[in-house]
Amino acid sequence: MIRRFRGVPPRLGQMLRFASVGILNTAIDLSLFGVLIRVAHWGVVPANTVAYSAALLNSFLMNRHWTFAGSAGPAYRQLPMFTAFNLAGLMLSDSMVWLFAPAIGPFGAKLSAIGLTFAWNYWSSRRFVFASTAGQ
Beta carbons within 8 Å of 66's beta carbon, 6+ residues apart: 2, 3, 17, 21
Block mean pLDDT (10 aa), the chain, length 136: 67 88 92 97 93 90 89 83 91 92 92 86 91 54
Instruction: Give me the pLDDT at residue 133, please.
Output: 45
pLDDT of residue 72: 67
Q: Helix, strand, or coil here: 57? A: helix
pLDDT for residue 43? 95
User: Hey, is 48 helix, strand or coil?
Assistant: helix
Pair 72, 132: CB distance under 8 Å: yes
d(CA 70, CA 87): 24
CA 112 to chain centre: 14
The secondary structure of 75-110, three-state, reads HHHHHHHHHHHHHHHHHHHHHHHHHHHHHHHHHHHH
Q: What's the confidence (pLDDT) of residue 3?
A: 58
CA distance 40 to 11: 41
CA dist., res. 82 & res. 99, Å (int): 26
Residues 6+ apart with CB under 8 A from 120: 85, 88, 89, 92
Stated pTM of the model: 0.71
The pLDDT of residue 105: 94
Predicted pLDDT at 136: 42
